[in-house]
Structure 1
Amino acid sequence: MTDERHRGSIATASEATEPGAPHHRTVIENPLSGERIVIRTGASETGGELLAWELLLAPGGRVPSSHAHPEQEERFTILAGRMRFRVGGRRTIAEVGRTVVVPPGTVHSFANAGPEPTHVLVETRPALDMQALLETAAAMAREQQAAARPFPRLLDLMLFMRDFEREVRAPYLPRALVRLVTRTLSGLARLRGLDARYRRLRVPGRDAVHR
């Protein structure tokens, strides 16, 4: 990997594949988590069955919080470095060649466990609108960093959780309760026109084949 692959800024852009390849890859960078994501295979290429993406996680990088994917399985295959996982309350360190599987609905988190960037292949099944979630989360992180706020805006977070309730949920709380709260608050925000800032950050599900 080149140094360019580990730059710390955040962007959503197109990056050429290997010479002669006909497609471009979407690149997503998150300054708060230290994640750099390269989309390899999108939902539209697999009939919605799979989103395959490479994750490069900087030293000290970690997913912002524990979470679960209600309907999706995630598979993490370590290509370089070491990753610390917590899956369903069990902790493990994964090294090169190991695959960690997170079943649907399982609370999990992960972090770089070494001094070098970690390179991971992630497969998300089904794809749903996970790519838009990753892009929107990065846009929100950039806005949060620019405003020098330690936490995301609560209203933006509620709108985010409502938009992506099939893709992600908060851990441990009853799903029905979380959906009730997020749907109620996001509905009131939209009714009163308080969602304009979030809508500017929200990335459309360009690659989603169904909702």
Structure 2
Amino acid sequence: MIQLGNVIENQRTRQRMIFLKTGIETKGEQLQIECFSPVTSAKDSEHIHPFQENRFQIISGELIFYINRKEQRAIKGNIVSIPKNVPHYFRNPGPNEAHYIQEFCPALKIDSLFETFFALAREGKLNEKGAPNIFRLSLIMLKHEKEFRLTKPNWIIQKIIFKLIAPFGKFLGYKEAYNY
């Protein structure tokens, strides 16, 4: 379970997170993370946070955001706010590591999602695109459906598929959350 001051690192992407405020300290109102993202040409999958606003304050470096299919460059001093339920993803085009504060309001259980993916990365359980196998993914996505959803295919289709596959994931011994 993530606590104030915890530091986690994604072994696959080399992204680091320091938890400055957690849902426990803020009574569920906010999660605040100091993040360091290395230069990459890889992009995350487009996704939404259906019940959370996601905010970025750039301290150094630069990030390119794709918000509702529109590109937006953010540099030192910029603040980027992404309303709930808006499709987005971001990456660091370089030339330096990006340092930023990321916030989620309300916190919900997004810290558990980060902890799970970083733990799986550390254990070598993610593919080259950063996803676990479909059996493990189904359990994780169903547990975190209020925090994170891929935009394709449609969530209703994803949820049906995940619900059909999840029992097999449980049978194989996979969990819906992993500790870092």
Normalising to structure 1: TM-score of the pair? 0.76
Q: Which residue of 1 aligns with 2:128?
A: 150
| C-alpha deviation, 1:150, in angstroms | 3.2
Going from structure 1 to structure 2, the CA distance change for 1:45 and 1:62 (only over 3 Å counts) comes to farther
Q: What SS does structure 1 have at the residue aligned with 2:57? A: strand
Paired letter, 2:150: A
Going from structure 1 to structure 2, the CA distance change for 1:186 and 1:13 (only over 3 Å counts) comes to closer
Q: Distance in 1 between matches of 2:120 and 2:24?
A: 25
Paired letter, 2:6: T
Sequence identity (%): 29
Gaps of 5+ in 1: 1-11, 15-23, 205-211
| C-alpha deviation, 1:71, in angstroms | 0.7
Gaps of 5+ in 2: none
Q: How many residues align?
A: 178
1:184-199 alignment runs, 5 A limit: 184-190=164-170, 193-194=171-172, 196=173, 198-199=174-175
1:28-43 alignment runs, 5 A limit: 28-43=8-23
The higher relative CO (CA closer than 8 Å, separation ≥ 6) is in 2
1:1-211 alignment runs, 5 A limit: 25-60=5-40, 64-144=44-124, 149-150=127-128, 152-190=132-170, 193-194=171-172, 196=173, 198-199=174-175, 202-203=178-179
Is the radius of gyration larger for structure 1 or structure 2?
A: 1
| C-alpha deviation, 1:125, in angstroms | 0.5
| C-alpha deviation, 1:181, in angstroms | 1.7
Normalising to structure 2: TM-score of the pair? 0.88
More helix by share: 1
